[in-house]
Structure 1
């Protein structure tokens, strides 16, 4: 029996632009719409030009990418091998807050709740009394990272062996190519060509078709704009508008350059604050990805490139490439039958590796709200509402890193310390300073442990804390923290080095055939 299909069901989805965003969009849509259980007759077509480059560099991610890959049926070892990936436990921050500062934002919490309240509250109480090691000592991910060790989490019962998450570092170009293979196996079609014109229906305002330089005309019912910072459809045609957040996030440029692989192979990203921005270091199997994000209002391109090259751990491969951007988001990411995903929807500097996370969440949001050919405005409104909540929450978390600085050594850091911040973020900071409590405005975003890592890492200490913390006697409480710290240390000491785990997984993945869909 053939399943009934709505007479207004989508017949063709056209994705404009490839790269990471385009193929991350194409793969799950093809799986849903073109697979065995998809809508009969529905096509997913991606149009990209070999003449137009992408920003793709060494990419760092968040743990949500694991679920995305799993949903596509991707074998983790095969993916690791073919994208030259390494594992990531979090980000090490250097010279943020003050010169000489060093702290870690790991993927995981700081121990189980104590009498229904965050373990941090009790740690803070004991810290104020004296004799407590740093909070990171109870982050399994942080302890693993410091010792360059890694194994995937294991076990079903809560324990130190699964009290952490992991993400990946990979070559963005290789990942896009990998996803292209996954997407086409699920039924997506690729068209190579340069778009020279866009046809818009004069009555509905919907995009009807795009025209390519060779004369081909590509019709569609739903158009996904993955054209990057050009925002070809969402801004070029739909005039969605853009909210500029440069006053709160003044970095507007980046220099990027790969370098030869340098050991040891770290299971974390490194972010080092500089005089007018920060640098990244992303370790891959075959090379290291490096970049310098900075504000052109506080330093020159030449000085930024020199600072990047001077800080490399190994020989550069080529010359630094300059990338320009304006931090902000589209006022609407969905207008009529055009949906923007990726950089076409907005740009937030990659300080917390949120670029791919924003893409996969947008794809999931679109699938949840998938329209028919009418593209009902109510669906667009809900998509835009949730997108705004997410972008603003990520924006505020990134601003937090700058606003909490105690650095006064350069004009850039003095500006960051004094700049106004969104009212919601100001309230969150004040709540923590006054009471030690963390306010999380987006439950799908960065949660309490992440905020605590940044507050504590910057040396922000509350003036008071939860009065109910004193209900737990101090002596057994200290014993509890000591036992947990010892259990973490012993477990991590038994783990293999990260480089050995990567080599084992990469070899296993290289020996396997391509596995998609189980």
Structure 2
């Protein structure tokens, strides 16, 4: 048994970040002898609690924990999600869906979209969306889990995520964690103790004088970044020049009965509005630039575009797009908002928590806290923020809108070098590349570039291995198969009821 093992882990802050960290650590490492995991949070301190939409990687996290999906869906009032719909982003009146999963079928050794591009040049007017099982199903409010055994069916490769009540998810994970010996301590932290020579944090001190000592501290204190930012003084990389939205108003409203398994993002004059339908209500928010609209105007705009009566007053949130220069400093690792924030346009906030936890589990330290492991963790964190940043910028940069100062600023900004190269590659011959296992796949980049109006100047020469008539025939066949398959799928509501995932009346009023 290693004598230098970490024996006391202290998680500062609850919410989604804190309880995801506690649950994963308890599941993976909780049986280590003498390891204690303690989470400190105060009921008096609220959480942001607006991150209700996820991406497919969340299923891997739930699988790691061994969660029962039906129970999870029922207890978090969750709905399924097959993609994100973007309304009025390219221009007012235009919409498209960024789907999970794939488009069509790769043929002749090249990606499907090259055959679609060739078809367009031959006069086929079908949209890229028509070749996505996820898009066609979502538009018709249909859902089915992937069926890998149906190898020749488009349902074999469906990918999905969840939309859930973040507060209920945190409570769900709290019960999971406490059942695996995680200790929850209630209290407000008023002081942080550090080693006089190394600067390492030795304990957090609560309002009533209790000291919570630890070897490794996980900062889940939200935007405040109590340990990493305030105590250790790690600075912040500000990306406002590329992502000018710096505020949000969030408000739940009554459910409109919409069962489309998608998150919707609608572009507004100074930003965009999210809409996330859950089983018991709909989550809404307006992400905007305070340089282009006042808080009162933003709140009024949000309330004017709800599907049903609001259930609360709009909740204001202030943020700066970017990240801490280092997510791991000394014996502190920041998770979630404590380490950085990229607006929820592509539902990446919860994923960043998940990937941070995975990196920490891979590089879990000893009491020696070797710098090379810390450096590798930090490089991975920065890389992920950069990759997501460039993908988000694409949505703003590639637009035809010039109806407000906000959109004129966005369309004329100079994109980062990596994004410039991706745009140039697609504009030349429709090439889409995924760099060093970045989060967003070729499908994602293709979807948003096409959806935002980036035009390819050509296609891969290998597409001409198929005669023109055969190309058009196959395109028609793929569209027909997808449309027919969607027709035979159950609606999301019917699927939830049949699976036993529909929440009960008591739970529907829980949040």
Q: TM-score if structure 1 supplies the norm length?
A: 0.95
Q: CA deviation at 1:212?
A: 0.6
Query: Which residue matches 1:18?
Result: 14
Query: Which residue matches 1:137?
Result: 130
- Is 1:167 the counterpart of 2:181 in the alignment? no
Contact 2:81 2:163 in 1 (8 A): yes
Query: Which residue matches 2:54?
Result: 61
- Is 1:213 the counterpart of 2:213 in the alignment? no
Contact 1:209 1:219 in 2 (8 A): yes
Contact 2:116 2:128 in 1 (8 A): yes
In the alignment, the residues of structure 2 paired with residue 16 and residue 329 of structure 1 have an alpha-carbon distance, to the nearest angstrom, of 19
- Is 1:279 the counterpart of 2:292 in the alignment? no
Query: Which residue matches 1:436?
Result: 430
Q: Residue 236 of structure 1 aligns to a residue in which SS? A: helix
In the alignment, the residues of structure 2 paired with residue 377 and residue 461 of structure 1 have an alpha-carbon distance, to the nearest angstrom, of 46
Deviation string for 1:217-260 (max 9, x for gaps)?
Answer: 11111000000100001111111111000000000000000000
In the alignment, the residues of structure 2 paired with residue 30 and residue 384 of structure 1 have an alpha-carbon distance, to the nearest angstrom, of 23
Unpaired stretches in structure 2, ≥5 consecutive residues: 506-511
Q: CA deviation at 1:476?
A: 2.0
Q: CA deviation at 1:442?
A: 4.4
Query: Which residue matches 2:459?
Result: 465
Deviation string for 1:6-39 (max 9, x for gaps)?
Answer: 10011111100000000000001011222xxx32
In the alignment, the residues of structure 1 paired with residue 463 and residue 475 of structure 2 have an alpha-carbon distance, to the nearest angstrom, of 15
Q: CA deviation at 1:43?
A: 0.5
Deviation string for 1:39-84 (max 9, x for gaps)?
Answer: 2000111100111100003600001111101110100000000000
Q: CA deviation at 1:356?
A: 0.4
In the alignment, the residues of structure 1 paired with residue 498 and residue 25 of structure 2 have an alpha-carbon distance, to the nearest angstrom, of 32
Aligned pairs for 1:348-387 within 5 A: 348-387=342-381
> Given the alignment, which residue of 230, 235, 242 partners 1:241?
235
Aligned residues: 504
Q: Residue 154 of structure 1 aligns to a residue in which SS? A: coil
Deviation string for 1:175-205 (max 9, x for gaps)?
Answer: 0000001111122111111111111112222
Q: Residue 326 of structure 2 aligns to a residue in which SS? A: coil
Deviation string for 1:93-129 (max 9, x for gaps)?
Answer: 1000111111011101112211221000111011111
> Given the alignment, which residue of 98, 101, 106 partners 1:108?
101
Contact 1:279 1:293 in 2 (8 A): yes
**411 and 507 in structure 1: CA distance in 2 versus 1, 3 angstrom threshold:** closer
> Given the alignment, which residue of 4, 13, 16 partners 1:8?
4
In the alignment, the residues of structure 1 paired with residue 256 and residue 435 of structure 2 have an alpha-carbon distance, to the nearest angstrom, of 39
Q: TM-score if structure 2 supplies the norm length?
A: 0.96
In the alignment, the residues of structure 2 paired with residue 386 and residue 210 of structure 1 have an alpha-carbon distance, to the nearest angstrom, of 28
Q: CA deviation at 1:154?
A: 1.2
- Is 1:302 the counterpart of 2:296 in the alignment? yes
In the alignment, the residues of structure 1 paired with residue 140 and residue 272 of structure 2 have an alpha-carbon distance, to the nearest angstrom, of 24
In the alignment, the residues of structure 1 paired with residue 436 and residue 273 of structure 2 have an alpha-carbon distance, to the nearest angstrom, of 27
**403 and 442 in structure 1: CA distance in 2 versus 1, 3 angstrom threshold:** farther
Q: Residue 256 of structure 2 aligns to a residue in which SS? A: coil
Contact 2:99 2:132 in 1 (8 A): yes
In the alignment, the residues of structure 1 paired with residue 93 and residue 84 of structure 2 have an alpha-carbon distance, to the nearest angstrom, of 16
Deviation string for 1:468-514 (max 9, x for gaps)?
Answer: 32122222222222222211111110111112212333457879xxx
Q: Residue 7 of structure 1 aligns to a residue in which SS? A: coil
Contact 2:140 2:260 in 1 (8 A): no
Deviates more, 1:439-448 or 1:269-278: 439-448
Q: Residue 59 of structure 1 aligns to a residue in which SS? A: coil
Q: Residue 26 of structure 2 aligns to a residue in which SS? A: helix
Contact 1:255 1:292 in 2 (8 A): yes
Query: Which residue matches 1:322?
Result: 316
Contact 1:58 1:290 in 2 (8 A): no
In the alignment, the residues of structure 2 paired with residue 23 and residue 453 of structure 1 have an alpha-carbon distance, to the nearest angstrom, of 33
- Is 1:498 the counterpart of 2:467 in the alignment? no
> Given the alignment, which residue of 447, 450, 470 partners 1:453?
447
Contact 2:425 2:432 in 1 (8 A): yes
Deviation string for 1:399-455 (max 9, x for gaps)?
Answer: 000000110100000000111221111111111112211132241400111111111
Query: Which residue matches 2:140?
Result: 147
Unpaired stretches in structure 1, ≥5 consecutive residues: 512-518
Q: Residue 208 of structure 1 aligns to a residue in which SS? A: strand
Deviates more, 1:24-33 or 1:71-80: 24-33
Q: CA deviation at 1:158?
A: 5.5
In the alignment, the residues of structure 2 paired with residue 320 and residue 442 of structure 1 have an alpha-carbon distance, to the nearest angstrom, of 40
Contact 2:427 2:456 in 1 (8 A): yes
Q: Residue 126 of structure 1 aligns to a residue in which SS? A: helix
Contact 1:78 1:510 in 2 (8 A): no
Q: CA deviation at 1:155?
A: 2.6
In the alignment, the residues of structure 2 paired with residue 264 and residue 70 of structure 1 have an alpha-carbon distance, to the nearest angstrom, of 28
Contact 1:251 1:294 in 2 (8 A): yes
Aligned-residue CA RMSD (Å)? 1.4
